[in-house]
Structure formats: structure tokens, C-alpha cells
Structure 1
Amino acid sequence: MDDLDRRVVNALQVNPRASWAQVGAVLGIDPVTASRRWQRLRDHGDVWITAYIAPPGERGPVALVEIDSAGHSLEIADRLADDPQCASIDIASGGRDLLLTVSAHDLPRLTDYLLHRLGNLDHVRAVRTHPVTRVIAEGADWRLTALTETEQARLRESAVPTDHTRRRELTDQERAVLDALVADGRASTTELAAATGLNPRRARDLVRDLLGSGRLTLRTELRAAASGWPIYAWFFLRVPAAAATAISPRLGALPEIRTVLQIAGPNNVIMAVWLRELTDVTGLEAAIETHLPDVEIIDRAVVLRTTKRAGVVLDPTGRRMRTVPMEA
């Protein structure tokens, strides 16, 4: 990806359904050029936009799960790839072989998945579950740094304003639209109409209402190796309970941070980061220790391969292969 590619991707991170005319106007390029750049990257599996209902933690209970697989990491990852409850799968270094992000519609369904699906897998020697009590930051919020604040503000102007007080259960028509957006969050109203049997105007209005009520999250993603931030790591932190609410958002504001979770457990904050170099793992630790002295870093894990991210199944190079709708 060159600089213009990154600017196009960054624009769609800010406003995933911005028109190509809007993107072109902000970036100072022809709309056709912006469209072609995105389509080329999407065709290669380097970028994609998917959809899911509400942010994690609001659509149902979430847990981060560590698995000791006795050397069978890839086999287990492949067996879990099509599970709608298993949102993300990382093969990691350190004291665990796999790190899973698991979610379900309600706590009984989550418990059933943890005990029966994961607990009965062959070759699994240990399963450690970290229930998430609060999602401070998630991958949908992470941004490339290719646009200025002014450019980002211009793109946000055309985004649908959100009013979270309008949340309610999805209708059958809204679920049909969601299903179409899971595979391609930029599907046109014509494409949505063809997929759902609705007329284009109705499909457009449903998308706007889903976004406006905060019930729909559109997530623009890219292959880590193409992003300029190819090193992916998890940190397990211990923060004084009285300080966790104040410190966690400060961690989430760091540009390297993709995910910050408050956890019910001794390591009460767990975060995921993308970094430019492997040596930056130590550098980030030093920065946290210097600027946040109340934070104790208990453990860390470098991700060797991600096989699934937010419902999207990835090939060994990190390119999108297919999308599995997450349970909602």
C-alpha cells in the first residue's frame, strides 16, 4: 500500500459509507481514482468493511479466552473458524497458544459455548476465561494516521449522526439488511435491495436508521502487514481497582492501541496493540511504566498469526477469505 492507498483506507475508517465523491473531495483526487484504489485492495483481500450489531459488550457478554493446545494451534483454529460465537482467533507466543474473543447473545449461551464447545475440543490441555466487564476500545476505533484532523472532520460531517437512545430490537427487514452488510459494508442501496427483496429507498432508509440508532457498527479493516503496523501483541495488566476507570481510557487513547478490555480477574485490564517493529513491544512497556506508574505489566504475548478477526476469516498472509456473521 502506498500513501494514497492509506489515505483512501483511512477515509473509509472515518466514514465507511462515504460516497466516492465525498472521499475524492476530501483527498483532492478524482472519485474514480479513489474507487479504483479501494476496489483493487479489496479484490486482493488487503482491505474490507464488515458489519455487526452494536459494539462488543453491548450486544451480549464477551470473554477473552486463553487456550493451551499442546502444539495443535492451527488445527483448533481451523475447527473454530466458522463458529459465530468465536469472533477472533489469534495464535500467540508465551503462556498460551491461542487467544480467542468470544461473545454470545446472553450469558447462558456464552457459558454453554465455553464449557461444551471449547471444553470438549481434542488436544486442549487448559482453558482460561477472562470475562469482560467493560470494553474501553475496540478495533473498529483504530485508525491509520494518514489524514489530518481537518480531513477527518470533513468526512465525519457527512456521516449519519448517532442517537443511542433510539436503540431497539431489530426487525426482520433490518436483519436482512445487516446480513447483506456483513459481507460488504459498502454494498450500494441497489445491491442491498437485490439481496433483501426491498426497494432501494427502503434499504437506504434502513441502513441510515440502523447507523443513526447506534445499533449497527461498520468496521473498516486492513491486512496488518500492509498497514505499516505489522507487529500484533497482547498485554495483560494489573491496575488498582480505584484507578482502572481513569487509566483505561488513557491507554485507549494511545495510537498503537486497538483493544482495551476491563476484565473480572487478577489481570484486570487486557489490551491489544499494533506496532511497527518487534522492539517496540519493549518500548511501549517502558512508556507505560514511565507515564502510568500505577500500571503493572504482568504478561505479554506476541501474535504469530491471526486466523479470524471480528468475524472475518483470514488466510496465512492475513488477507480476507470470507466472513462469518457473529452471534448477535
Structure 2
Amino acid sequence: MQDPVALDEVDRRVVHALQVSPRASWSQVGAVLGIDPVTVARRWERLRDGGAAWVTAYAAAPRSPFALVEIDSAGHSQDIAALLADDPQCATIDITSGGRDLLLTVTSRTMAELTEYLLGRLGALAHTRAVRTHLVTRVIAEGASWRLAALTETETARLREPPMPPARARAGLNADEQAVLDALVHDGRAPTADLAARTGLGPRRVRDLLRDLLRSGRVTLRTELQAGSSGWPIYAWFFLRTPAAAAAVISPRLGSLPEIRTVLEIAGPSNVIMAVWLRELTDVGRLEAAIESQLPEVQIVDRSVVLRTTKRVGVVLDSAGRRLRTVPMQR
């Protein structure tokens, strides 16, 4: 396995800035960070070209069903991960320790399509001993909101977009909007001229569509980086059981923890599942102890440490966690 790309403090500040505002101009980022814009651009290009950091995009579909799926693979976890890597419905693939070999995030447009993928595609896989599905009922926190904590609150505030009147709500994307999203998926920072060339639309039309898609919240831009370069290289999933009446209060408290990447409420015996990034393996036990101490009504049912992530939110990764290519998600 190749070593992670080494990020110095300036690199981390650049990545954090793009987590806050993925399409901020280099002049704006440079002004906030106190760095020449050309230097900022070169820093990002080195990280992007090396696969250590990237900006992708996906359609925000709050009513679309999705699920977490555990697979016991009888020792064939890497084979199954490679087989599923180019499936649009399979957004994230984690190879894990513990009571499951693989943990997948599966998305779809309708419940019927989700069911067909779960029963048809995953149910027919060779070398699987068991497939267990957890349907997600509510998203409390997601990885797009996770930050590197390399900037001050003042710097972060300078990068945030000013509030704008909400755009008229619409369901789905029309053909031109979908074309812009398809181009953004591969590079969420692509200049307007590049987006226009890829879509065949005029630059002004692209600017208007992009502004509307982002302002309406129908498209999400997400800045990600190689986990091993983040300073938080240990990735783990926790399966929790909370009293149903208290879940609405407990879940947001879990989502506020700095280590948290994802918190999901699910329909199942473990009614809350969360993903965390940690600095050291010993922090798994420390976090468990903190949860048990601060939230005694929460029972930790199980946990799994991720050995390798081969795909994260549509981005296929190499063995070191670097971006190889992007497979647009079905949302």
C-alpha cells in the first residue's frame, strides 16, 4: 500500500476552506488564509492531481430511500467490493472488521428499485453467507458537514456564502440541470467555461443553472480527502440502540461530536448507526466510554473498524484511499 499524501498545515487550511465553500475563488480563499491565490491554486492542484483531495457533487434527494447493508463474504470481501465498485446504486463500500465483512451504503430513486437491487443484485452475489439490510429512516448528520478544524471560526465565517432568498422548490432535475450535475460529479470546482464545454450549454446558462441548483439545495457539493492524510485515519461504525421516544433528542447530540461523520436513524434492532473518524485505534474505546458516560440511555450493540474503503460517496478509491474515478450515484 502506498503511503498517504503528506498534508502540511497550509494544505489542511486550503482543504478546510473548500469544505466550507467548495467553489470559492482562489482570490477569496487566498484573502482569508493570507496566501497568494496562485499558491493556493497550486496547492489544491497538487492534492487533486495526486488523488488526495477532491470535490464531487450529487443530487440531494431527501425522500429517496437508501439503506446500509452488511455482507458476510466468506473471505471474498475484496472480490465483492471490486464487483460492486461501478454500480451507481452502491454509493459507499467499506471493508470492515467485526461482525460483518462489508458495509455498503445503497441508494435508489424509489423503494421498488431499492428492493430490486437488494434482492436481485446483492442477493444473487456469489460467496456471500448473509446479507442484512438496515433501511434508513432519518439522516441526522452526513459526511459533507465534517470539517478538518484547520480554520478559525472567523475565517470560516468569511468563507460562508451570504444567505440568499430560497429558490423556488422543484422536484427532480431537467435535462440541462442533469447535464450540469453530470459534469460537476467529476470535478465540483470545474470552471464555468469547462462546464459549458462539457454540457454544450452557454456559459451564462450554466452559471444560472449552477446558482439555482446550489441555492435550492437540490445539488450538494462535497469536498473530501484521503482519510490517511486527514489526521483522523481510523474509521469506525457503531451500532446503537436507544429508546425510541428519546432517539429524536439523542441522535442530534451524537451528531454534534467532533469525531462524527455520519449519524443515521434506521428501522431495526439497532435504531441508530453512526460513522466516526478517529486519530488512534485506542480512541474507539475512549469514544465508547464517553458515550456510555454522557448518554447512559444509549446501548452500544456492536462496532466495526473499517480496514479499507474502496468507494466513498460515488468515488472509487485505491488501496491507499486516493481517488481513482467517480461513478455518479443513483439518487
TM-score of the two chains, using structure 2 as the length reference: 0.96
Pair 1:69-2:73 in alignment: yes
- The residue aligned with 2:171 is 168
Shift of 1:162: 7.0
- Work out which of the residue numbers 41, 47, 52 in structure 2 matches 1:41: 47
CA separation in 1, counterparts of 2:244 and 2:276?
22
Give how far 1:59 is off.
5.2
Give the secondary structure class of the aligned counterpart of 1:105: coil
1:87-236 pair list within 5 angstroms: 87-157=91-161, 161=164, 163=166, 166-236=169-239
What is the TM-score of this pair, normalised by structure 1? Answer: 0.97
Cα distance in 2, alignment partners of residues 135 and 224 from structure 1: 22
Distance in 2 (CA, whole Å) between partners of 1:99 and 1:67 is 6
Q: Letter of the aligned partner of 2:60 in structure 1?
A: A
CA shift, 1:171, in A, is 1.1
1:100-129 CA distance string (max 9 Å, x none) = 000100000000000010000000110000
SS at 2:328 equivalent: coil
Q: Give the AA of the match of 2:256.
A: A
Change (3 A) 1:317 1:109: same
Q: Is the 8 A contact 2:67 2:105 kept in 1?
A: yes
Report if aligned partners of 1:167, 1:214 keep a CA contact under 8 Å in 2: no
Which of 307, 315, 323 matches 1:304?
A: 307
Structure 1 moving runs of 4+ over 4 Å = none
Which of 21, 25, 39 is the aligned partner of 1:19?
A: 25
Contact between 2:13 and 2:151, CA under 8 Å: does it hold in 1?
A: yes
State how 1:235-274 maps to structure 2 within 5 Å. 235-274=238-277
Residues 234 and 272 of structure 1 are in contact (CA less than 8 Å); yes or no, is this contact kept in structure 2? yes
The residue type equivalent to 2:182 in the other structure is D
Give the superposition deviation at 1:165. Answer: 5.6
Contact 2:235 2:306 (C-alpha < 8 Å) held by counterparts: yes
Equivalent AA in structure 2 for residue 327 of structure 1:
Q
Q: CA deviation at 1:166?
A: 1.9
Q: CA deviation at 1:255?
A: 0.7
- The Cα of 1:163 is off from its aligned counterpart by 2.6
Single out whichever of 164-173 and 74-83 deviates more from structure 2: 164-173
Identity %: 73
Q: Cα RMSD (Å) of the superposition?
A: 1.1
In structure 1, distance between residues paired with 2:98 and 2:167: 40
Q: Number of residues paired by the alignment? A: 325
* Structure 2 counterparts to residues 48-59 of structure 1, below 5 A: 48-54=54-60, 58=62
3-state SS in 2 of match to 1:157: coil
**Structure 1 residue runs without a partner (length 5+):** none
Unmatched runs of 5 consecutive residues or more in structure 2: 1-6
